[in-house]
Each structure stands twice: as C-alpha cells, then as structure tokens.
Amino acid sequence: MSTLAQDLEENRRKIHTDSYPMSIGELINLYRDGEIDIHPEFQRIYRWSDSQKSKLIESILLGIPLPSIFVAQRADGIWDVVDGLQRLSTIFSFIGILKDENQNLLKPLELTATEYLPALEGIVWSNDEDTDKELSADIKRAFKREKIDIKIIKKESDENAKYDLFQRLNTGGSSLSPQEVRNCLLIMIDHDIYDWLKKLSEDENFRNCVPLSAKQAEEQGYMELVLRFVVYRHIEKEEVKKYSDLTDLLTGALQTIFIERKLDLVEEEKSFYRVFNFLSTTLEDDSFRKYNHSKGKYMGGFSLSIFEVIAIGLSFSTKTDIELKSMIEVVSKELSVDEYFLDNTSHGTRSINRFQILTEYGKTKFI
C-alpha cells in the first residue's frame, strides 16, 4: 500500500511547471505572432458583460494585481490558455487585435464607466475620429508595461495534466455549467469530436424530441444530452466504479471513450439519427414526457429518467421501425405507473446508480 509521500512524489513528476511575470505588451506580441492560443471558440461559452470587461481594464490601469494566467505548452511550443482566457480576450479586445475562430478581427471594446474611473465611459484604445475618447500615449505605455504572472505547464508534463487543471480551475466557484467546461475540454482535446457532437446536438429531429428551456439550451443542455446518449451506450461497468458522481463520469468519458478507445463516430451517428428520426415521427416532443393517465395526455417537461430508458433502449433494439411503432406508445405511457421505474427514480436515488439501472431496463423494453 502506497504512502502519501509516495503518491505525492509519483504525481509531482507528472507535472513540470514554470512561472514568471510577463508584461501585457509581451502577451500582445505573443498573440499577434500566433504563439498563444486562447481558443476563440470559447468566446460563445464565457459570458462577460462590457461592464465586467471594463472593470478588468480599470484594475490594470489602477495597478491592481490580476490573478495568474495558466497556460500549457504544446509540443510545437505554442501556449494553450488553460485559465485566464476571458482576461486575455478582454485585453486583446480592448487593444483591437482580438480575432474570432475564422481569424476575422472583432469590434474593439468600448469601455463603460466604472466605480473608480467614471471617465472611462466611451473610452477606446484607438479612435481616429474622436481623440477625446482615445487613451493618451503615456497611459497606453503604462498599460502595456503592467505585468501578469504566468504559470506554465511545460510540454514534458503528463498529457492529461492541462485537461485536469482546466477542469479544476473552471469548476466549483465558476459560473460555467459542467457541459460548458466539457466543451472547452473537448476543443482542447480534439476539435473534430467537439464539432461532431455539436452537429448532432443541432439535429432538427433530436431537438423536436427534446423541448429544453432557453436557459438549459444556453448552458449547452443539448450537447450534454448527446454526450449522455453516447456515454450511456458505451461506458463499461468497471469504468463506472471509478467515479462517485455522474458529472465526473461524463467528463472522464471524453478521454476514455472518444480518445483512448477511438469511438467509431460514423456508426454512432447512424444509431443517433435512427433513434431520433423514429421518435420525431412517433412521439415528437412527448418523447421524454410523463403520461398522465387520469387526464389522458402527456404533461410536464423533459424527463432525463425517461430519456435514459427510451433513447438508450431504442438504440440497442434490433427490431424494425414498423415493429417499434406498435410498441413505443405503450412503453412510453406505462413508465409513469411502472413500479420498478418509479422506485429507481424516487427522491434520494443517486444519479450514477439511476442511469445504470434505467439504461439496462430500457434494453429490456424493446427486445
């Protein structure tokens, strides 16, 4: 049995780090030269208002120290931003050099009034038409000379180190949903897989079956359901034992199922489209709602428990769509009075246990 000292020694060897302060001017040059990657795709995920951005610029102008920026050095020497993307994006946006994922320049940030510097209202870095609203040369120089501490995960580190660090730094007190963090991880791990999941999440038939709220959609609820569909179908019982929480399992599965085991995306896509094309033409937006027998109609919002039974059960069925059509409404309506289903979806049932039970139960419903 290993000791704490042994565990520390072994895991410390996996992460090689360095740290030093860099001026904002140096960071600007790195970005212009393409030597630091802030992943512009994340801009849709991180939601800072102009007021929040202006407060950051205010802090820099006042000389208030900023939290460290964490970067991971890739094999080609380029730095991947692991934590601090919004801070760097705000700085680059204010300077007027921030680009989107298609390498198009974005509109420069125009500041709003702040608590200590109300005169920042309408200020821009550079404005040829209205010099009163442009920072003076001496303020610009002082701004670029301000320094930020940079923590570097060196390329000799374990490959998973930056993903683990990203997850740790962007959860807990963060305003990101778990799936928004996973999306960022996916973009860093394999952009093609991120694009593939996004494509499925935008499928018309799928969305017709899953009526999520605007807030759920904004927090990447559709992407999470696609990920759940794939993970539920392929996660192995032994893998589940590694996790005590379903949220951690879904995040861990990004690496194990998609990267290590190299999931066949073509075959998986066929299964996905088959299930949701079928449901879209049968139950439509009632696909994952509970049936109220006394009122004779489906009621309520989307039920994740019903999704775990029906979507996964259908995906493993070898029956034809004609055969399934005569079964789906019966199975769907029975769930709301099914004692086994109700017992395993009652309050207090852990989600990681529930999904294992219900996905297996779903397979028995369509054989």
Q: What is the domain range of residue 142?
A: 10-158
Beta bridge partners of 99: 105
**Residues 338, 197 share a domain:** yes
Whether residue 43 is predicted with pLDDT greater than 60 in this model: the reply is no
Q: Is residue 262 part of a domain?
A: yes
- The residue with tokens 């680059």 is 92
Domain final residue, candidates 105, 129, 158: 158
Q: Is residue 2 part of a domain?
A: no
List, in order, residues 6 or more apart from 273 with CB less than 8 Å away: 203, 205
Counting every residue written for the chain, the total comes to 367
**Residues 360, 269 share a domain:** yes
SS3 of 152, please? Answer: strand
Q: pLDDT for 216-225, tens place per residue?
A: 988 889 999 9
Which of 49-58, 64-73, 162-171, 315-324 has the lowest average pLDDT? 162-171
**Residues 138, 209 share a domain:** no
Distance CA 147, CA 145 (A): 6
In what order do the strands lie in the sheet containing 147-153? Answer: 17-23, 147-153, 69-73, 79-83, 36-37
Higher pLDDT, 260 or 31: 31
**Residues 287, 241 share a domain:** yes
Distance CA 350, CA 343 (A): 12
**Residues 276, 334 share a domain:** yes
* Segment holding 72, helix H or strand E: strand 69-73
**Residues 94, 55 share a domain:** yes
Rounded to the nearest 10 degrees, how much is the dihedral formed by the CA atoms of 42, 45, 51, 53? -20
**Residues 269, 200 share a domain:** yes
Residue 39 Rama label (left phi>0; alpha psi -120 to 50; beta): left
Which of 120-124, 190-194, 299-303 has the lowest average pLDDT? 190-194
The count of domains in the chain is 2
pTM greater than the 0.75 cutoff: no
- The Cα-based distances of 64 to 61, 121, 298, 346 in angstroms read 8, 20, 56, 50
Q: Is residue 110 part of a domain?
A: yes
pLDDT given at position 100: 84
**Residues 140, 112 share a domain:** yes
